[in-house]
């Protein structure tokens, strides 16, 4: 999953980005609200972590603007402010959740997972499922027909994105955009490589194939008809 993290405190931004990347997320970072709006104008994110007290354009103004523009990406607000009125202002502006600084990384990670589950339409479950395939968002464990499948970090990220969008045909460009950030410089066939690896691990030896190529378009994960 690709996240935008907007935080003007350099040390906190660096540390949190490192922890999020270790947890398997793809991260784009910026330090002010104006730059955040530039990122959001050209990139589709799975979630946004947004500090309220930002230079140039504050976080609430960023949030209100993207909601006016019809951008419904889940937003978690971060702030040192802890009053009830501040929390109400944030939620009324369109935030999905609210976390007060200082926070533990474990709580931040849990709240991100909750937002992503809601966005995937499974708010009460930690599992993404298709046929006999399951992916646990908490443990990052992938199982097929009761057998655990070992995946690399990027293989997991591609599979997670496919399952969040199961039955939806995704172009190679859309998959790549959600799995890698702006710092990535890779080959044009990188998605094809990861899809081949996933097929080998998830479909080989099973009667039902789940990952399908849509010629001239991209890929979809779904049960065979």
User: What CATH number did the domain enclosing 159 receive?
Assistant: 1.10.10.10
Kindly report, residue by residue over 34-66, the tens digit of the pLDDT: 999 999 999 989 999 999 999 999 999 999 999
Identify the pLDDT of residue 13. Answer: 95
* Claim to verify: residue 185 and residue 206 sit in the same structural domain: yes
Q: Are strands 170-171 and 147-149 parallel, antiparallel or unpaired?
A: unpaired
* Claim to verify: residue 55 and residue 145 sit in the same structural domain: no
User: What CATH number did the domain enclosing 112 receive?
Assistant: 3.40.50.2300
What's the CA gap between 141 and 90, in Å, rounded? 34
pTM: predicted TM-score of the whole model, two decimal places: 0.76
Identify the pLDDT of residue 34. Answer: 97
Structural domain count, the chain: 2
| Residues 6+ positions from 87 with CB-CB distance below 8 Å | 98
Identify the pLDDT of residue 146. Answer: 92
What's the CA gap between 138 and 152, in Å, rounded? 16
Based on the number of CB atoms within 10 Å of its own CB, is 122 exposed (0-12), middle (13-18) or buried (19 or more)?
A: middle
* Claim to verify: residue 108 and residue 13 sit in the same structural domain: yes
119, 153, 181 — which closes off a domain? 119
Q: Which residue ranges of the chain lie beneath pLDDT 70?
A: 82-83, 120-125, 182-188, 225
Provide the domain limits for residue 169.
127-221
């Amino acid at each position: 999953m690709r996240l935008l993290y907007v935080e003007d405190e350099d040390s906190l931004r660096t540390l949190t980005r490192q922890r999020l990347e270790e947890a398997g997320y793809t991260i784009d970072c910026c330090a002010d609200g104006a730059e955040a709006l530039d990122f959001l104008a050209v990139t589709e994110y799975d979630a946004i972590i947004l500090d309220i007290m930002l230079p140039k354009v504050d976080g609430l103004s960023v949030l209100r603007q993207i909601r006016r523009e019809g951008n419904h990406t889940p937003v978690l607000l971060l702030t040192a402010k802890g009053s009830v009125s501040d929390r109400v202002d944030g939620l009324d502006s369109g935030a999905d959740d609210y976390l007060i600084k200082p926070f533990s990384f474990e709580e931040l990670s849990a709240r991100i997972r909750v937002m992503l589950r809601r966005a995937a339409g499974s708010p009460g479950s930690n599992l993404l499922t298709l046929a006999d395939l399951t992916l646990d968002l908490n443990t990052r464990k992938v199982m097929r027909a009761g057998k655990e499948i070992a995946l690399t970090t990027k293989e997991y990220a591609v599979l997670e994105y496919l399952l969040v969008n199961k039955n939806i045909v995704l172009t190679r460009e859309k998959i790549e955009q959600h799995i890698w950030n702006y710092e990535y410089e890779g080959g044009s066939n990188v998605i094809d490589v990861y899809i081949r690896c996933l097929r080998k691990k998830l479909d080989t030896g099973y009667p039902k194939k789940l990952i399908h190529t849509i010629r001239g378009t991209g890929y979809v994960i779904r049960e065979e008809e």
